[in-house]
């Protein structure tokens, strides 16, 4: 194809292309791709937090607490640590240790093959690992369900014990694990908890977290003057400070950058970057699959 002057030639043909073709050509045209992945991609891959996947795994918790979905349940203040771990151990198997590979993630990985890309995600599930992404290209900014932190955040290290999680699932009854299985912080003795951010204390960020963060920041720096495609996939408005707002800010700071948002919801786009914004509102899984097939 003949390259005309100016960035993003694909946009001049925008009206004649399907959304999948448009995005595919933008990806091919980009010099660097920064992908922000939210819960919408895991939902598109079938890892939904409501419906059968939830009701099959937690009928007892739903009966007791009338939970509406797994997100609400995972943030609930359980009555004690034995109940907390009865829930979290089952949740960890479902959304991390036993999480199957998702087609939408495979499609995204295939699309990025040979590309100059980096991913930041607020998802703490294991979907990128299951789909065999190069994890050096993925920054999990909201922790991982397979990791634990001191509930007092007394030190910046994380722990993991998959065998103990499986034992908790096997040996629990009446929504309680045996007291002897409750894990404690080796430094201060407080209970451990899943590695995640909360409003008061933030999140325990270990050395591995900081390595991921440095690689991501390095990628942004190396590509800051290029034709960068900021591709947001299934990012809602729960934590806009991690993906949505920085992507919009970086787009505004680079006249060659383009902000592409894949979302069926029409979120507010700041006026300054509207000319640099493309919205893909068709089904995420369908668009990724069409592109990966081409
Ligand atoms: Zn501690």
170-196 confidence digits (pLDDT tens):
999 999 999 999 999 999 999 999 999
Using CB atoms within 10 Å of the CB of residue 202, give its burial: 0 to 12 exposed, 13 to 18 middle, 19+ buried: exposed
Span from the CA of 163 to the centroid of ligand 1 (angstroms): 22
Phi and psi for 205 in degrees, rounded to 5?
-115, 105
Q: What distance in angstroms lies between residue 185's CA and the mean position of ligand 1's atoms?
A: 5
> Distance from the CA of 114 to the center of ligand 1, in angstroms?
43
Is pLDDT of 241 > 50? yes
Domains with residue ranges and CATH for the chain: 9-44+100-143+206-293 (3.40.50.1220), 52-99+145-194 (3.30.1600)
CA of 153 to the centre of ligand 1 (A): 6
- Per-residue pLDDT band at 4 (split at 50, 70, 90): very low
Q: 191: how many CB neighbours lie within 10 A of its CB?
A: 16
Q: pLDDT digit string (tens) for 112-122?
A: 999 999 999 99
Has residue 242 got a pLDDT over 60?
Answer: yes
Per-residue pLDDT tens for 88-131? 999 999 999 999 999 999 999 999 999 999 999 999 999 999 99
Residue 6: is its pLDDT beyond 70? no
- C-alpha span between 257 and 30 (Å, rounded): 9
CA 287/CA 255 separation, integer angstroms: 27
CA of 88 to the centre of ligand 1 (A): 19
Evaluate whether 143 touches 124 at the Cβ level (below 8 Å). Answer: yes
- Annotate 86-116 with three-state secondary structure: HHHHHHHHHHHHCCCCCHHHHHHHHHCCCCC
Give the pLDDT band of residue 3 (cuts 50, 70, 90). Answer: very low
Could you tell me the distance, in angstroms and rounded to a whole number, from the CA of residue 181 to the centre of ligand 1?
17
Q: Cα(194) to centroid of ligand 1, in Å?
A: 13
Rounded to the nearest angstrom, the distance between the alpha carbon of 178 and the centre of ligand 1 is 21
Helix (H) or strand (E) holding 192: strand 192-194
Residues 149, 159: Cα–Cα separation, whole Å: 6
User: What's the 157 CA to ligand 1 centre distance in angstroms?
Assistant: 9
Whole-number average pLDDT of the chain: 95
Task: Determine the distance separating the centroid of ligand 1 and the alpha carbon of 38, expressed in angstroms.
Answer: 30
Q: Is 69 exposed, middle or buried (0-12, 13-18, 19+ CB in 10 A)?
A: middle
- β partners of residue 149: 193
Does the pLDDT at position 14 exceed 90?
A: no
Distance (angstroms) between ligand 1 centre and the Cα of 120 equals 28
Query: Ligand 1 centroid to 184 CA: how many Å?
Result: 8
Query: CB neighbours (10 Å) of residue 203?
Result: 17
Distance from residue 209's CA to the centre of ligand 1 (Å): 18
CA–CA distance from 150 to each of 45, 71, 147, 187 (Å)?
31, 21, 11, 9
Angle between helices 81-92 and 162-171 (to 10 degrees): 110
Ligand 1 geometric centre to CA of 11 (Å)? 53
Using the structure block, give the residue that is written with the tokens 């970057």. Answer: 273
Going from the Cα of 27 to the center of ligand 1, the distance in angstroms, rounded, reads 45
How far does the centroid of ligand 1 lie from the alpha carbon of residue 141, in Å?
21
């Amino acid at each position: 194809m003949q390259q005309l002057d100016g960035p993003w030639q694909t946009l001049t043909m925008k009206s004649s292309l399907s959304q999948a073709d448009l995005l595919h050509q933008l990806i091919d045209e980009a010099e660097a791709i920064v992908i922000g992945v939210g819960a919408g991609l895991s939902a598109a891959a079938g890892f939904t937090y409501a419906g059968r996947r939830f009701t099959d795994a937690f009928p007892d918790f739903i009966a007791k607490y009338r939970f509406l979905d797994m997100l609400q349940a995972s943030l609930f203040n359980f009555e004690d640590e034995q109940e907390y771990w009865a829930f979290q151990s089952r949740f960890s198997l479902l959304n991390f240790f036993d999480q199957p590979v998702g087609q939408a993630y495979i499609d995204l990985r295939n699309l990025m093959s040979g590309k100059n890309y980096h991913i930041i995600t607020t998802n703490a599930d294991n979907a990128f690992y299951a789909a065999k992404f190069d994890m050096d290209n993925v920054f999990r900014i909201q922790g991982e369900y397979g990791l634990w932190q001191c509930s007092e955040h007394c030190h910046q290290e994380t722990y993991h014990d998959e065998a103990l999680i499986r034992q908790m699932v096997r040996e629990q009854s009446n929504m309680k694990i045996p007291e002897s299985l409750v894990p404690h912080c080796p430094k201060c003795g407080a209970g451990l908890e899943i590695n995640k951010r909360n409003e008061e204390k933030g999140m325990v960020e270990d050395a591995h977290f900081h390595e991921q963060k440095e690689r991501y920041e390095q990628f942004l720096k190396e590509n800051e003057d290029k034709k960068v495609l900021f591709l947001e996939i299934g990012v809602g408005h729960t934590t806009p400070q991690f993906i949505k707002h920085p992507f919009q800010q970086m787009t505004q700071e680079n006249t060659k950058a383009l902000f592409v948002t894949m979302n069926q919801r029409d979120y507010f786009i700041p006026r300054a970057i509207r000319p640099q914004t493309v919205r893909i509102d068709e089904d995420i899984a369908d668009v990724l699959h069409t592109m990966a097939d081409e």
